[in-house]
Structure 1
Amino acid sequence: MRLLAFLGVVLASALAFPRLGLHEGYTRLVFDLEAKTQYQIAQSPDTLTIRFQGIKVGAADVDVSSPQVASYQVVVASNSVTVFVRLKPSVEIKSVVLEDGNRRRLVVDVLASAQAPAKPNPPPKGLEPPRPRTQPKVVVIDPGHGGVDSGAVGFVVEKEVTLDLALRLRQLLQKEGIEVVLTRSSDTHLSPDKATDLGLRAEMANSKRNLFVSIHVNSAPNVAQGIETYYFGSVLDPSLLAQVIRENGGGELGRRLTQEAQSVGERLVRDLIAQSNLKFSRQLAHYVQGALVQATGAVDRGVRQAPFYVIRNARIPAILVEVGFANHPEEGRRLQTEAYRQTLAQALARGILRFLSNGE
């Protein structure tokens, strides 16, 4: 059984950068390189940083959760690719380059160490990880919908806007030293089954991260506009029911998931720890809502509670943001423009950074 699990990991990562192998006592990362590819390696106490030049790969955020490696992040810039590997305590790094004709393989092994590793040399200038080395902040950004699920469709398509905003927001937060995990980084779904898809997104709001923000675009049968931000709660304004059901999958599935989420909300009332988390979620929601309305001049639809399935079990402050209405003739057209999306992303970043500085 263990062998089958290992083979599953190898096959799943066969085309990945890096390819990942989990072994007894160590985690192996294999980088397939071209002959012209150059690289630099640097290590801090909790991060291994490898910068490549002369290679084209896609961005990625991957949880590893092996005994030696927590996760890795592939950050793509205009002329370089940087991989940040989050290390667990008491590990050692060994690397070797294997020549194979016109191609090379950089093999990096992260090994369990019986003794704490010696203090590493500081990384070369320009290779610092995109987060503070002490008390690192990790933010999960969830671009709503994706793949088979387009979300709201009007003057814009929801899944396209949410992904664009998430990518812009990731770049802004990384510049401030925040590590960002995206639930998706392309037009994909986590599962074609909506309940499974939402569940996989929700699982990323775990205690290893600092906060979770799900980004959405609204729609309404009547003419409506404005921005609103939600944190989880069982108290539901009847006028919001249709919207919550839609975001929870729509139709009979959406109604079922909404009922499940509401039952979670009823249990949270008796959980003091959960109540404390909801308090911080409410604070985060107010910071983000205030920043968005101030930056855009959009109608302020306020901060509310609702049983959105994707934030029902969050163990960290978690919110869902509706950045505007896809089918409003003015707001929908504003959402089409890069300038307005950048304004939204900058406002989201300001709200998040304010919370990380003051809210915890």
Structure 2
Amino acid sequence: MLCGVAGSWAEAQTDPFQRTAPAQVAPNLRNTSPGASYPAATAKAPVASSPASTAGAIFGNPRTSSDGSQTRVVFDLAPGVNYTLAPTFGGLRLDVQGARVLPAVSAPLGASVSEYRAGGGQVTLVTPFPLSLTDGWRASEATVASGARVLILEFGPTLSGGASPALRAVVHTSVPASTPAVTLALTAPVNSTLADQLPPGDAVPPPPRGSLPPPAPALPDHDTEKPSALAGQAQGAAQAGALLGAPRVGKNPGLTRVVLDLPPGAAYRLVPTGVALRVEVTGVSAAALAGQNISPEVRAWRYEPTAGGVNVTLLTGTPLTGRSGWRAQLVPPLEGSDRSRLAIDFSPALADLTPLKPGERVVAAVPPLQTMRGTALLASFATMVQPRVVIDPGHGGRDPGAVGSITEKQVTLDVALRVRDLLRAAGVDAVLTRDSDRELHPDKTTDLSMRAAMGTPGTQLFLSIHVNSMPPQNALRGYGVETWWNPNHPLSSNFAALIEKNVVSVTGAFPQGLKSGRSLAVLRNSRIPAALVEIGYTSHPVDGLNLKDNNYLDRVALGIAQGIREALMTGTTASGAVLGAAK
């Protein structure tokens, strides 16, 4: 039964304290017997409303009936009320003008309408199956015996027809009539108009085979699941007066390797210092040496003799932390040599690939959200519901997204499923725009609109997950995490900042920061706080390896889930409700 209660019927009750709505039955239409099909609408498509005709008009509190798997929903239409119909992957959305939409959230209205959400000029009828322009629903208008107009919506998994001929003008698909449909295949280009509505990486065509830089080389016998040891000692007995020679440097696309040949018994300690790594070596002697303009990853190196050895400073120019931006491995001597090799790799794209501990694979519980259901003063009551968020794995089906070390559509779905599981375990109603390898619609513009439309009234947050890319000639310039927002909602920038902060904190990935320079279709069409996070670059020789690493994807998912939780707890949401202190 619908929980939103209209004052029009509440005021007519004999007992003003009656809490239940009248029985919901199909309207008695002219020339129509109960249970018969409704006639085609005779009214024209809604016309512009006038102030006189819509003063005090309301929209909502529909009547419903069911027949097996089919559900019928009927709305009364006040004179001059405008509306549009938008079939989406998750149901039918009505955008209403000329009347106040009664806020309401309901339990199922029938077998084919699993939820009713209304408010803010919008009504969404959630269906357990996707709708297309013609399948899964029918819509028509009719005139009842009193002369009033009604909108009749029917839903069912086997229904077809869509809007009646009289209503086709009000069906909204977000596809401009002058724009041809764009079906993305593996090698299909994106037209320039659509490219301006996508993140920059989405407009990069799949690179020719072999055109991207090769993956960065691994350190010998290095276990990426273990953090680099911050201290160690070369094997063998110490030798008095042993000299440390100048470092050897190996240059690879996107990564530079520096090797220090340590005499037997020499000890070392690694100290990240912002934009440099200091290697404190004891048990050796060295001259005051220096080198400049080594590579894009290592700007310079310098030897500073100390009383017990030498400090080697390796200047990177990009941030280093204790677990990102570099990695190190002490390698045994080659045959015929007594010198152990301290190999240190530098790349701003090197992230934390160590596995999460069991206690870290959880997100703290999120308390339920209190909502008010009903509209009449005496019929309103509070109820507790799980906060609802929508997670959008970018691309899918015939649209692969970015192609390089990985295929974007596969990684975004993988991460989204991990995020969903973390949030559901924490008490969040996490909904995916897709849970398998498919697109929502063969037309890209419609697909994006359908994703954004899932941010229905009552949903708190919308997050789209993507993978970035650069063309081969610029592949080394793109790495790290960046988060996009559009001014579709006052809190979208705050939400994006929380996602960026948490993902970078958990992964150690290079922070590219917040972006808002493009009007992204999947964000600007959302009515709730929305953001889009790019979790790495498939075109980069180091970042691409991150995206293939299960531990990195675990960390990305945890960072996203923690960012969403922090937004929910601090009121950075559609409702603005503060659920508690973020932990």
User: Normalized against structure 1, the TM-score is what?
Assistant: 0.54
Residues 498 and 564, structure 2, Cα contact 8 Å, conserved in 1: yes
Equivalent of residue 486 in structure 2, options 207, 229, 232: 232
Structure 1 Cα separation of the partners of residues 448 and 551 of structure 2: 30
2:548 counterpart of 1:340? no
Counting matched residue pairs gives: 217
2:500 counterpart of 1:286? no
TM-superposed CA distance for 1:342, in Å, is 1.0
Equivalent of residue 566 in structure 2, options 333, 339, 354: 354
What amino acid sits opposite 2:535 in the alignment?
Answer: V
Residues 131 and 176, structure 1, Cα contact 8 Å, conserved in 2: no
Q: CA RMSD in A?
A: 3.1
Residues 107 and 114, structure 2, Cα contact 8 Å, conserved in 1: no
2:347 counterpart of 1:298? no
- Provide structure 2 residue ranges, at least 5 long, that are not aligned to the other structure: 1-36, 41-67, 75-104, 119-123, 130-366, 370-382, 577-583
Distance 1:66 1:297, change over 3 A: closer
Residues 131 and 179, structure 1, Cα contact 8 Å, conserved in 2: no
- Provide structure 1 residue ranges, at least 5 long, that are not aligned to the other structure: 5-18, 26-44, 49-61, 75-129, 234-273
Show the 5 A alignment for 1:1-360.
Answer: 20-23=69-72, 64-65=115-116, 71=126, 134-221=384-471, 222=474, 223=476, 224-233=478-487, 277-278=489-490, 280-305=491-516, 306-358=518-570, 359=572, 360=576
Query: C-alpha offsets along residues 304-359 of structure 1, whole Å, 9 cap, x if unaligned?
Result: 21311111121100001101001111111111122111110000000000010002
Structure 2 Cα separation of the partners of residues 314 and 228 of structure 1: 20
Query: C-alpha offsets along residues 67-123 of structure 1, whole Å, 9 cap, x if unaligned?
Result: 9x965789xxxxxxxxxxxxxxxxxxxxxxxxxxxxxxxxxxxxxxxxxxxxxxxxx
Structure 2 Cα separation of the partners of residues 300 and 193 of structure 1: 33
Structure 1 Cα separation of the partners of residues 454 and 498 of structure 2: 22
Report the 3-state secondary structure (helix = DSSP H, G, I; strand = E; otherwise coil) of the residue aligned with 1:210. strand
Distance 1:20 1:186, change over 3 A: farther
Report the 3-state secondary structure (helix = DSSP H, G, I; strand = E; otherwise coil) of the residue aligned with 2:409. helix
Residues 152 and 217, structure 1, Cα contact 8 Å, conserved in 2: yes
- Deviating above 3 A after TM superposition, structure 1's stretches of 4 or more consecutive aligned residues are 1-4, 45-48, 62-67, 69-74, 130-133
Residues 465 and 532, structure 2, Cα contact 8 Å, conserved in 1: yes
Structure 1 Cα separation of the partners of residues 73 and 565 of structure 2: 40
Structure 2 Cα separation of the partners of residues 136 and 64 of structure 1: 14
Structure 2 Cα separation of the partners of residues 24 and 331 of structure 1: 51
User: Normalized against structure 2, the TM-score is what?
Assistant: 0.34
Query: C-alpha offsets along residues 220-262 of structure 1, whole Å, 9 cap, x if unaligned?
Result: 12111010001015xxxxxxxxxxxxxxxxxxxxxxxxxxxxx
Distance 1:2 1:208, change over 3 A: farther
> Which residue is 2:324 aligned to?
none
Counting aligned pairs with the same residue, the percent is 40
Structure 1 Cα separation of the partners of residues 505 and 550 of structure 2: 18
Moved more, 138-147 or 305-314: 305-314
Larger Rg: 2
Structure 2 Cα separation of the partners of residues 138 and 152 of structure 1: 29
More helix by share: 1
What amino acid sits opposite 1:348 in the alignment?
Answer: I
TM-superposed CA distance for 1:181, in Å, is 1.5
Structure 1 Cα separation of the partners of residues 397 and 563 of structure 2: 28
Query: C-alpha offsets along residues 156-199 of structure 1, whole Å, 9 cap, x if unaligned?
Result: 10000000111110000101111112111100011111111111
Indicate the structure whose relative CO is greater, using CA pairs within 8 Å and at least 6 residues apart. Answer: 1
Report the 3-state secondary structure (helix = DSSP H, G, I; strand = E; otherwise coil) of the residue aligned with 2:389. strand
